[in-house]
């Protein structure tokens, strides 16, 4: 039996054109569960775009703050929601620097164009303060993650926090494709997405809330279950 997994993510919000457009690139809205028509991209066929976005489509448009985890024994959804609400209410809203489209390995994602200490601190708080709700990963999951090749620091983080890319290894990104191994195809896809997103990424992005997403089963799409507002800026 597969227990539900949970994660704390950031997405720009229901009023954000950036979220609407990027959700359409993925072909699904994580807030409503609706399948969305994908945009026409020069040099990328509709069928190929559907293939390239198949993996991130299941998770929806988001940037990870606390990676997915199973709930620890003895705690429930309501406990996680209450703690996340309290965490959000203890931190001020802020703006991300303008985003840019980057290749991270073989996949494409939006990343901040400059360092953002407020974001780093928020992600750290989500990882550390909500860790009591995380069930430690089993041996199979640990072996799977180590199988991709981790540094000593990443392996240490995996053992302590259940994920290798947190804290000092954290790199915030909002994923738009799965892997695009061919460099020429990756460049074409990046150019087409850059043109589509150009009107939306040249200005700061408001971070006004964080969200808990729920993954109900191994073949099921991930959905937003609760948004939690950060403190209003003075």
Q: What pLDDT was estimated at residue 68?
A: 93
Within a domain: residue 138? yes
Give the domain range for residue 79.
5-229
Within a domain: residue 163? yes
Round to whole Å and give the CA distance between 2 and 17: 35
Within a domain: residue 114? yes
Q: What pLDDT was estimated at residue 202?
A: 87
Within a domain: residue 203? yes
Question: What would the pLDDT profile of 43-54 be if each residue is shown by its tens digit?
Answer: 999 999 999 999
Q: Are 30 and 15 in contact (CB under 8 A)?
A: no
* Number of domains, the chain: 1
Report, as an integer, the average pLDDT of 167-191: 96
Residues shown for the chain: 234
Q: What pLDDT was estimated at residue 232?
A: 86
Within a domain: residue 234? no
Token couple for 21: 């457009």
143 pLDDT band, cuts 50/70/90, is confident
Q: What pLDDT was estimated at residue 1?
A: 45
Q: What is the mean pLDDT of the chain?
A: 93
Range of lowest pLDDT (86-90, 147-151, 152-156): 147-151
Question: What would the pLDDT profile of 4-42 be if each residue is shown by its tens digit?
Answer: 999 999 999 989 999 999 999 999 999 999 999 999 999
Question: What would the pLDDT profile of 95-105 be if each residue is shown by its tens digit?
Answer: 999 999 999 99
Question: Is it the case that residue 150 has pLDDT exceeding 60?
Answer: yes
The CATH number covering residue 129 comes to 3.90.1140.10
């Amino acid at each position: 039996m597969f227990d539900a997994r949970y994660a704390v993510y950031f997405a720009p919000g229901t009023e954000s054109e950036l979220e609407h457009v990027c959700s359409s690139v993925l072909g699904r809205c994580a807030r409503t569960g609706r399948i969305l028509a994908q945009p026409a991209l020069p040099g990328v066929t509709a069928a190929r775009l559907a293939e390239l976005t198949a993996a991130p489509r299941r998770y929806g448009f988001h940037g990870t703050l606390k990676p997915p985890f199973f709930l620890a024994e003895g705690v429930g959804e309501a406990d996680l929601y209450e703690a996340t609400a309290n965490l959000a209410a203890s931190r001020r809203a802020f703006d991300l620097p303008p985003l840019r489209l980057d290749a991270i390995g073989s996949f494409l994602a939006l990343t901040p164009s400059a360092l953002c200490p407020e974001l780093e601190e928020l992600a750290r708080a989500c990882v550390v303060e909500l860790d009591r709700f995380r069930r430690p990963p089993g041996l199979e999951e640990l072996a799977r993650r180590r199988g991709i090749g981790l540094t000593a620091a990443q392996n240490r983080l995996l053992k302590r926090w259940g994920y290798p890319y947190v804290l000092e290894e954290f790199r915030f990104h909002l994923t738009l494709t799965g892997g695009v191994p061919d460099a020429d195809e990756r460049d074409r896809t990046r150019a087409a997405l850059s043109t589509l997103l150009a009107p939306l990424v040249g200005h700061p992005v408001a971070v006004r809330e964080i969200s808990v997403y729920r993954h109900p089963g191994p073949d099921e799409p991930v959905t937003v279950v609760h948004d939690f507002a950060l403190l209003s800026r003075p």
